[in-house]
Amino acid sequence: MEIVHTTEVRALVELQRKDTAIGALTARAAEVPVKLAALRKAFEDKKLSMAAAKEALCALQVAKKDAELRIAEAEEGIRKHQRELNLVKENDAFKALLSEIERDKAVKDELETRELLILEEIDKAAVLEKAEAAEVKKLEGVMNSEAAALEASAAELAAAIEAAKKDRDEAAADISPDLLDKYEAIRASRAGLAVAAAYQDPATGKYSCGGCHMSLTPQKTVDIKKQDAFAVCADCRRLMFLEQTING
């Protein structure tokens, strides 16, 4: 079967065009859930990053409370030792209390320095947390409108596919069953493309198959120019035709 004689070349070419268009619509429809998932993932990631910022702020606030508590304890220690200072008679005990007080004061100074650093970090973390929350809110709005647009386009695509399939089935019903079977068998094994236009390289003048892009033998080059016939590609077995032959 190196050549398929039929008066339905133009009808089959047209059917292939319809099927190719349905394939393209179907591919676009398949992209919609992928895009929706990507949108939702980006939003969830942003929410996670906002939660992390909130958690960091909380941890700093806990650290601040802890420092305040320990400062109060150090102050209490200082006051206690100062009261005791008034009661002791012995020089050694007096000296010991004084050094206790010095130690407490040093601890208190260190804690106060730490608290200041924590306060600075809290300011930064609060700014970051606010920015993250604003971004989440903004992204939520963007996501909702983009998701709505995608869902609308999915509905349009589904309707277009349904209409195109109906139109295609009507066109297929007019083609003789033998030729249609041949067409469907090749289409099933060749990624949906059974009928391919052969094309000429303007530089070399050589023709190639529009399906597999292998160059044609001189005999095939003669065959594709015949009226009311498809030349079968020696490489991919697709049905080849020439645009100028079916249009001319």
What is the contact surface with Zn ion in residues (CB under 5 A)?
Answer: 209, 211-212, 233, 235-236, 238
Nearer to Zn ion, 12 or 211 (CB): 211
CB-wise, 81 or 238, nearer to Zn ion? Answer: 238
- To Zn ion, the closest distance from the beta carbon of 237 in angstroms equals 7
Q: What is the CA radius of gyration of the chain?
A: 40
CB of 168 to Zn ion, least distance (A): 23
Residue 118 vs 231, nearer CB to Zn ion: 231
- CB-wise, 101 or 207, nearer to Zn ion? 207
Query: CB neighbours of 80 closer than 8 A, spacing ≥ 6?
Result: none
Task: Give the residue with the Cβ less far from Zn ion, 11 or 212.
Answer: 212
Least spacing, CB of residue 208 vs Zn ion, in Å: 8
